[in-house]
Structure formats: structure tokens, C-alpha cells
């Protein structure tokens, strides 16, 4: 079973389109999205529509929850979010808000004898950061009942073994924090014997297109620069 795991698209249609093209080349069996379809980028409705048209299995992200509830309960009240949240709340169609609100917070699947838990932030909280060397990540993996934990939210991809368990963060399609504008996603391959192999793929895209759209819509320059340079 070969899975493509995407997350944190954040309203970046151009990055999503390029990643989906790359996924087609990888000949995967299925695609799973870990949430945060919207926020920051100028294409929230287009991104949600594309995920729906592709029938991609999808979780709810913390920014998705914040937009649906029109509150800062799950995101930081930063200058960027003081612009981005109300902008998306106003822009997102009611049907797309209903879709995001209906998404699950986690999914458990089993392939070839391997159990996998998919979450946006952590098994405990939708907005908890799990960085590979942090104590809370070590604790989460010690408490994990499944064989593999797959998360996102940090926008920083990684793959790390914790004993016999595998930790994966798929990174971000639309707003990476890796000092490059390249989109990232994960390919998880579990063979018939239950052996697991994961890789992070880095996908360049024409980020100047989204920069142009954001500039025309008068998005904050700091937000535009974060898309250009991959730095928060």
C-alpha cells in the first residue's frame, strides 16, 4: 500500500496543483490530507473544491476550525492572523465551511498489518506542535498504541523512528517553514510483509503566481515574504 500524505495547503492552489501532479507520477494507491486547507493563501474556495472533487480523505486542521468558528481559539492572535482569519472567514463559501466543519479530527487505518494514526497536530490536541526532538513528541510516541503516527501542523517535515514505532510529519504543501518555497509531502509505502518506508518529497512550483495574487489583493507584505522565502 502506497499512500501520499499532504497537509497545510493554506489556500495555495498553485502549490496544491503541482503536488497533485507529482503524486500522480508516484503511482500511489490513495491520498490522505491532514487538514488546514485554508488560511494565509488567497484561494480557499478553490482548494476546498479541489480536495472534494478528488474525493481525498481529509482531516480537520486547527486553521479550518478557527475559520468555521470565527475565533482565535486554535491559532495565535498574531498580526498575520489578525488579517488572514477575517479575510478567509469573509471569503469562504458557506458550503465549504460546512464541509470543513464535518471533517474528523483523526483517522485510524490498518494496511498490511501496520496500524496508523493520522492527526493534524497531535493525538491530544489539534494545535499541538510535535517537533522530532521535543519531549512532548517522545511522550506521544511512548503513549501511541499504533505502529505509526502521521501528523503535520508544524510545516516542518521529518521522519524519525522511536523504537519500533515510526513518527512522520508531512510538512506543508502551501506554506513551508524550511527556508525555501518548495511544497513538501510524504509518501508512505507499506509492503505486503508490513515493512514501512517513508520519504519526504520536495516539489518546486511557480510561487511567483501566488505572490502576484496576494499582492493584487493587498495581503500584508510579511505574509507574502513568508511564502517567498519559506520562513515564518
Is 133 strand, coil or helix? coil
Question: Residues 165-189: pLDDT tens digits?
Answer: 999 999 999 999 999 999 999 999 9
Sign of CA dihedral 184, 179, 124, 127: negative
Q: Of 129, 110, 127, 134, which is closest to residue 169 (Cα–Cα)?
A: 129
> Model pTM greater than 0.85?
yes
Q: Of 229, 214, 163, 222, which is closest to residue 43 (Cα–Cα)?
A: 214
Question: Residues 40-67: pLDDT tens digits?
Answer: 999 999 999 999 999 999 999 999 999 9
**Mean of pLDDT over the chain:** 98
Instruction: Output the pLDDT for position 206.
Output: 97
HEC string for 77-130? CCHHHHHHHHHHHHHCCHHHHHHHHCCCCEEEEEECCEEEEEECCCCCCCCCCC
Question: Residues 72-112: pLDDT tens digits?
Answer: 999 999 999 999 999 999 999 999 999 999 999 999 999 99
Q: Do 114 and 196 meet the contact criterion of CB atoms below 8 Å apart?
A: yes
2-229 fold: Purple Acid Phosphatase; chain A, domain 2 (3.60.21)
Query: What is the arithmetic mean of pLDDT over 110-124?
Result: 97
Q: What is the CA radius of gyration of the chain?
A: 17
Quick check: 153 pLDDT over 90?
A: yes
Q: Do 40 and 32 meet the contact criterion of CB atoms below 8 Å apart?
A: no
Quick check: 232 pLDDT over 90?
A: no
d(CA 28, CA 185): 13
Q: Of 28, 15, 24, which is closest to residue 187 (Cα–Cα)?
A: 28
Q: In what order do the strands lie in the sheet with 57-58?
A: 57-58, 30-33, 2-6, 183-190, 196-203
Sign of CA dihedral 95, 97, 102, 108: positive
Residue 76 CB partners (closer than 8 Å, separation 6+): none
The single-letter DSSP state of residue 167 is: E
Instruction: Output the pLDDT for position 2.
Output: 97
Amino acid at each position: 500500500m502506497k499512500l501520499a500524505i499532504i497537509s497545510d495547503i493554506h489556500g495555495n492552489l498553485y502549490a496544491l496543483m503541482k503536488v497533485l501532479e507529482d503524486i500522480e507520477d508516484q503511482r500511489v494507491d490513495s491520498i490522505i490530507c491532514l487538514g488546514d486547507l485554508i488560511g494565509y493563501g488567497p484561494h480557499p474556495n478553490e482548494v476546498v473544491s479541489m480536495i472534494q472533487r478528488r474525493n481525498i480523505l481529509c482531516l480537520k486542521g486547527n486553521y479550518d476550525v478557527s475559520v468555521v468558528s470565527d475565533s482565535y481559539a486554535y491559532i495565535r492572535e498574531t498580526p498575520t492572523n489578525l488579517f488572514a482569519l477575517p479575510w478567509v472567514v469573509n471569503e469562504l463559501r458557506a458550503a465549504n465551511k460546512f464541509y470543513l466543519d464535518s471533517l474528523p479530527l483523526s483517522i485510524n487505518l490498518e494496511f498490511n498489518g501496520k496500524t496508523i494514526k493520522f492527526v493534524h497536530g497531535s493525538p491530544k490536541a489539534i494545535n499541538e506542535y510535535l517537533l522530532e526532538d521535543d519531549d512532548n513528541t517522545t511522550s506521544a510516541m511512548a503513549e501511541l498504541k499504533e505502529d505509526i503516527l502521521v501528523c503535520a501542523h508544524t510545516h516542518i517535515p521529518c521522519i524519525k523512528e522511536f523504537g519500533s514505532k515510526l513518527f512522520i510529519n508531512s510538512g506543508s504543501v502551501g506554506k513551508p517553514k524550511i527556508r525555501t518555497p518548495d511544497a513538501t509531502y510524504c509518501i508512505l509505502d507499506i509492503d505486503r510483509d508490513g515493512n514501512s518506508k517513508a520519504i519526504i518529497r520536495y516539489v518546486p512550483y511557480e510561487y511567483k503566481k501566488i505572490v502576484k495574487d496576494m499582492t493584487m489583493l493587498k495581503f500584508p507584505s510579511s505574509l507574502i515574504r513568508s511564502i517567498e522565502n519559506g520562513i515564518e
